[in-house]
Structure 1
């Protein structure tokens, strides 16, 4: 059974900024997010992204003591959804998700998978576009991701 793919806001915003939101669909098909994430994204969601909110509000409220509502809701949803992959970029959110035993990736992981699956011919030009946004990415991480995909 394919994992439920849950996206936090940063992946949606960043891929939209560089004109590559459709890669998320190409790599994973259907995506799930929460209403808080949809509100933070602030644009109409494509029809392949559905909204599902966590039912356990107490988990979300606890997470909101250290994270924003979007990240907290995405992590809470991943916690109660078996076999899920959470797409999350923010360091604090990633750390908490890992501590909770959740499977995670980030936007760069999505792009690397797009390259490995043949959806894009080269990753480097997209990383260049990302570096022109306000998204912070270290040169070391750029080198690691490019090495991972053979560029």
Structure 2
């Protein structure tokens, strides 16, 4: 497991909506977010979510084609040698990967949580996700269930 876990806003909002925010604590212990992500999340954050100031201006180069939360999350993850970025948006994931930053998404978090014994099954959580406005294709659901050995 990487030393530093950085989260973009979408994962926080999604897990908050479905009542699974604590799953992130169980899995990672601590999350790092930027002030922008904190503002976008717009909910009180527990003490295991640490708001970190950026040390670089990397996000300025990314903000031309990504939203501010994604740009600052990628920039924050880039400041650590051993980090993992939780980001769902395809353009943001691509940009982070091009910078050599390991990424996962909200659904990847669910697979990891199951593999580590924090979830008995992914399928009921996906059912809760489908009741939100989080867009998820049938093909992606099938791939996730296959990886979670629930297909």
Indicate whether the TM-score tops 0.5.
yes
Question: Could you tell me which residue of structure 1 aligns to residue 96 of structure 2?
Answer: 97
2 CA distance for matches of 1:47 and 1:70? 20
Deviations 1:36-78 (A, max 9, x none): 0000000011110001122112x11111111111111000111
Q: What count of residue pairs does the alignment treat as equivalent?
A: 150
| Runs of at least 4 residues off by over 3 Å | none
Question: Could you tell me which residue of structure 2 aligns to residue 139 of structure 1?
Answer: 138
Question: Could you tell me which residue of structure 2 aligns to residue 29 of structure 1?
Answer: 29
How far apart are residue 3 of structure 1 and its match?
2.2
Question: Could you tell me which residue of structure 2 aligns to residue 78 of structure 1?
Answer: 77
How far apart are residue 118 of structure 1 and its match?
1.0
* Contact 1:6–1:78, Cα closer than 8 Å, also in 2: yes
Question: Could you tell me which residue of structure 2 aligns to residue 5 of structure 1?
Answer: 5
How far apart are residue 122 of structure 1 and its match?
1.0
- Secondary structure, in 3 states, of the residue corresponding to 1:86? strand
Gaps of 5+ in 2: none
2:134 is aligned with 1:113: no
Counting only pairs closer than 5 Å after superposition, residues 40-51 of structure 1 correspond to structure 2 as: 40-51=40-51
Normalising by structure 2, we get a TM-score of 0.96
The 1:45/1:105 distance shift into structure 2, 3 A limit, reads: same
* Cα root mean square deviation, aligned: 1.0
The 1:50/1:18 distance shift into structure 2, 3 A limit, reads: same
Normalising by structure 1, we get a TM-score of 0.96
